[in-house]
């Protein structure tokens, strides 16, 4: 059985845990999901998610609890990490905000609340590269960041209004929107099982 962790400061923790369970069972596997509120659990995890919420709060928490270096080690070991919305802001290399201490796990420059002049929340059918089929993904944006600039190692998986909103940088997949809020688990599956630069332990045959 796989072990997963969801960074559980705030935001859609239960929704991510449920989405992880759907994605893992779609791949015929089983999973135990831990809520990460302290250091020591991340090293046990095969795969991780860091949800949305408020990026300054999440940043402060992962730093003060000593979780930040564990997240870096996880990615350094090519284990999959999926970051959404505020999670992407915290994992970025430049959040454009002094109150966020970036983890520098995804080489992107962020503009927080970039879609603010539109309705605060909206849903858009997105073409996302690398999904199991060509069906547009129902992407839910909530006070979402946009990506201004991407580094050389970053693959843009989807854009909205001409701006990247889903990216992959090695074992890390990040979205500005919230795949945990729909029952469509294709992006969780992409992040955990269909990323050529990330791996989870193979099924043991007994």
Asked if 55 touches ligand GLN (CB under 6 A), the answer is: yes
Overall residue count recorded for the chain in this entry? 206
Q: Percentage helix, strand, coil, to 5, in the chain?
A: 25, 30, 45
The answer to whether the beta carbons of residues 103 and 86 sit under 8 Å apart is no
Asked if 101 touches ligand GLN (CB under 6 A), the answer is: no
* Nearest CB to ligand GLN, comparing residues 87 and 171: 87
* Nearest CB to ligand GLN, comparing residues 2 and 55: 55
- Rounded to whole angstroms, what are the CA distances from 24 to 6, 68, 166, 191? 14, 25, 21, 11
- Of the listed 15, 16, 74, 85, which one is catalytic? 85
Among 41, 50, 67, 142, binds ligand GLN (CB under 6 A): 142
178 annotated active-site: yes
45 annotated active-site: no
Per-residue b or e along 6-33, where b marks 16 or more CB atoms closer than 10 Å to that residue's CB: bbbbebbbebbbbbbbebbeeeebebeb
30 annotated active-site: no
By CB under 6 A, which span of 1-9, 20-28, 141-149, 180-188 interacts with ligand GLN?
A: 141-149
**Which residues bind to ligand GLN, rule: CB under 6 A?**
52-55, 85-86, 89, 112-113, 142-143, 145
């Amino acid at each position: 059985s796989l072990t997963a962790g969801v960074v559980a400061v705030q935001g859609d923790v239960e929704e991510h845990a449920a989405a992880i369970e759907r994605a893992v069972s779609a791949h015929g596997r089983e999973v135990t999901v831990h809520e990460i509120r302290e250091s020591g659990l991340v090293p046990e995890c095969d795969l991780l998610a860091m949800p949305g919420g408020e990026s300054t709060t999440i940043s402060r928490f992962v730093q003060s609890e000593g979780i930040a270096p564990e997240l870096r080690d996880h990615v350094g070991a090519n284990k999959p990490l999926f970051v959404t919305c505020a999670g992407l802001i915290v994992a970025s290399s430049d959040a454009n905000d002094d109150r966020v201490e970036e983890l520098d796990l995804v080489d992107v420059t962020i503009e927080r609340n970039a879609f603010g002049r539109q309705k605060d929340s909206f849903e858009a059918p997105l073409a996302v590269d690398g999904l199991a089929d060509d069906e547009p993904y129902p992407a839910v944006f909530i006070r979402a960041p946009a990506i201004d600039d991407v580094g050389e190692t970053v693959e843009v998986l989807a854009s909205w209004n001409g701006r990247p909103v889903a990216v992959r940088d090695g074992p890390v997949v990040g979205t500005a929107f919230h795949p945990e809020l729909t029952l469509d688990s294709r992006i969780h599956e992409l992040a955990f099982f269909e990323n050529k630069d990330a791996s989870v332990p193979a099924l043991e045959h007994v």
